[in-house]
Amino acid sequence: MKNDYNRYNFWIEKNDEKLEYYMVVKGEKIQVPREVFLICQNSYRKMLRESERDRVILHFSDLTQAEKYQIKQTYTKEMMDYHELNEALNSLTHQERRIIDEIYYQGFSERIVAANLGIPEATLNKRKHKILRKMKTYMIEGKK
């Protein structure tokens, strides 16, 4: 929805402890009911949000062939990384996988995970780092 408002077309004045709502319509300042004021002001704000969104959205058809190729390569690399990470996770023992899952995927703190497992927090931290090194090695060197 397109309109001709700008931010200077809306203002509120306080007269005798009463709020009065004003807008500029066809170049003239007029007093309007609160409901009309709010509808027009919200319409203007919506138009701003939509125009901002339209500026940010980049349509695939607007891209050059080189940009499309780069996006495809990036997507392919990310999918390969995802599969490698999945394979590394699948190479873990049940206990190792549980630690990684609870900390990184479920967002539990190390303190809570350690309490759930019945081990000291320092022990959990050491295990976590050992598991991460194991996963890194797996992803760099491949299956062993």
Residue pair 31/22 in contact by the 8 Å Cβ criterion: yes
- Give me 71's structure tokens: 């996006």
Record: fold of 61-141: Arc Repressor Mutant, subunit A (1.10.10)
- Rounded Cα distance between 57 and 1, Å, is 18
Q: Domain residue spans in the chain?
A: 7-56, 61-141
pTM attached to this predicted model:
0.50
* H or E segment to which residue 48 belongs: helix 34-56
- Dump the DSSP string for 72-135: HHHHHHHHHHHHHHHHHHHTS-HHHHHHHIIIIIS---HHHHHHHHTS-HHHHHHHHHHHHHHH
Distance of CA 16 to the CA centre of its chain: 46
Q: Return per-residue pLDDT of the chain as tens, 144 residues.
A: 455 667 678 888 888 888 999 888 888 888 999 998 889 888 888 888 887 776 666 667 767 888 878 888 888 888 888 888 999 999 999 999 999 999 999 999 999 999 999 999 999 999 999 999 999 998 888 755
Tokens linked to 67: 């940009």
